[in-house]
Amino acid sequence: MDLQCKFPKDFWWGAAASAPQTEGAADLDRKGKNIWDYWYENEPNRFFNNVGPSVTSNFYHTYKEDIQLMKALNFNSYRTSISWSRLIPGGKGTVNAKAANFYNNVINELIAKGIEPFINLYHFDMPLEMQAIGGWESKEVVKAYVNYARTCFQLFGDRVKRWTTFNEPIVPAEGGYLYNFHYPDIVDFKKAIQVAYNTMVASAKAIKEFRKLNIEGGKIGIVLSLSPTYPRSHNPADIKAASIADLMINRSFLDPSVKGCYPEELIKLLKEYNHLPDYNVDELEEIKNNTIDYLGVNYYQPRRAKAKACLPNLEAPFMPDYFFDNYEMPGRKMNPYRGWEIYEKGIYDIMINIKENYDNIESFVSENGMGVENEERFLKDDFIQDDYRIKFIKDHLRWLNKAIEEGCNAKGYHLWTFMDNWSWLNAYKNRYGLVSVDIETQKRTIKKSGYWYKELIKNNGF
């Protein structure tokens, strides 16, 4: 077969998901409450169609059938997370034996089906008791997280060789402390910076614990949402605005994770505005000495920035937007079903940046996907004809392939997501899966994109 895009041997093909978005069983088998359980109990109106975290794709009960479906689609890898509040109810103390048994069964089932488990430790689901003492603002929570991480390595590290400490650590900081879309729903830039910093300390400390165990063949990394930042124009003011946006959104996590230190420009900026986090020299040493082995890259859309059009309101909360405005480029390609820009070359630009500025560290696309509202409108002949998703994947893979041909050390591609799942405040508003899920009957149906993805993996290209 003459393929347009051929990928390297042993390329990681699969999908990504998370425990809180797929497992369901929110109050079964001694699982503790996390912040999403609590927020839904208290403000269900914040969630699309009032659908809360207990109504997910029920993976807790259907993992065997779902993993069999992954095998049928030729997956060779799959990323999911462990729920801290399920494994250790309350965030610290005794391991929940039923939870450990569940995760052991999932890991064993994946391996038995020839699917390598990539296990992430934290995907936005803070145990409620940990949030009550400050969440990621608290050094005590950092300590509890490190104990949780060590427990996971000890329980599952004999079989799981690919670990990540966090998925998109910027999101709890942005969503929970700046922009009102995660609990605890606070607007305070100083607290957001502390949360971001403490998360990086926690990641470094977890990596240190991982390395103490000398897991044979084991590697540990982090998953970052990276949005290449493009200035509106070549005007110096626009370039400066885009540079600050990049510092805050991308480099604030990328640099400490890969290089072991924060950008000097970021430190200078935060110091100038009296927004440096509480830190100590020992923590900075931990970050310096415990960098990642590999990097997961989540890419959905670019960020475009321009110089501020108006002076900030000095009486309003101090925010990152003090330094730049978001820019909507005329003529940009859009996902009309989700409202996000589609810019496939962004995935190439990210990989080239990693190659040129981050020692070409081993990386993979850990999330990329297309959300569609009311996707049932494309139902025909008993399954969803999502040609738009096939085109989306193809167009991104062409740019990823180009990056690899130019020497980028990209090892795989995981779609978000395998099957439609619950998505925080949006619940089931936007569907991303290769497999559709009827949340009333829990019936799984492969979409057209799923059949195409199966052939993509079989041919290692298209």
Which of 137, 367, 440, 455 is catalytic? The answer is: 367
pTM exceeding 0.85: yes
| pLDDT reported for residue 1 | 59
Q: CA nearest 145: which of 170, 168, 120?
A: 120
Name residues whose C-beta falls within 8 Å of residue 59's C-beta, 6 or more positions apart in sequence. Answer: 17, 22, 23, 24, 66
Q: CA nearest 95: which of 135, 154, 161, 36?
A: 154
Burial (CB count <10 Å: 0-12, 13-18, 19+), residue 32:
buried
What DSSP string describes 210-238? HHHTT-TT-EEEEEEE---EEESSSSHHH
The single-letter code of the amino acid at 146 is: V
DSSP state of 33: P
Q: CA nearest 404: which of 4, 7, 3, 1?
A: 7
Tell the residue number behind the tokens 């959300």, with chain if given.
371
Instruction: List helix spans (H) across 73-169.
Output: 84-87, 97-112, 128-132, 139-156
Residue 16 has, within 13 A of its CA and on its CB side, a CA count of 25
Q: CA nearest 353: which of 341, 343, 363?
A: 363
Distance CA 176, CA 158 (A): 35
Q: Which domains does the chain have, with CATH numbers?
A: 12-459 (3.20.20.80)
| pLDDT reported for residue 56 | 84
Angle (nearest 5°) at CA 444 between 439 and 447? 115
The single-letter code of the amino acid at 106 is: V
DSSP state of 250: I
pLDDT tens digits for the chain (462 residues)?
567 899 999 999 999 999 999 999 999 999 999 999 999 999 999 999 999 998 788 999 999 999 999 999 999 999 999 999 999 999 999 999 999 999 999 999 999 999 999 999 999 999 999 999 999 999 999 999 999 999 999 999 999 999 999 999 999 999 999 999 999 999 999 999 999 999 999 999 999 999 999 999 999 999 999 999 999 999 999 999 999 999 999 999 999 999 999 999 999 999 999 999 999 999 999 999 999 999 999 999 999 999 999 989 989 999 999 999 999 999 999 998 888 999 999 999 999 999 999 999 999 999 999 999 999 999 999 999 999 999 999 999 999 999 999 999 999 999 999 999 999 999 999 999 999 999 889 999 999 999 999 999 999 999
| pLDDT reported for residue 2 | 67
Active site residue 367: yes
Distance CA 340, CA 250 (A): 19
For 300-388, list the strands marked E by DSSP: 303-306, 325-326, 334-335, 340-341, 363-367, 372-373, 379-380, 383-384
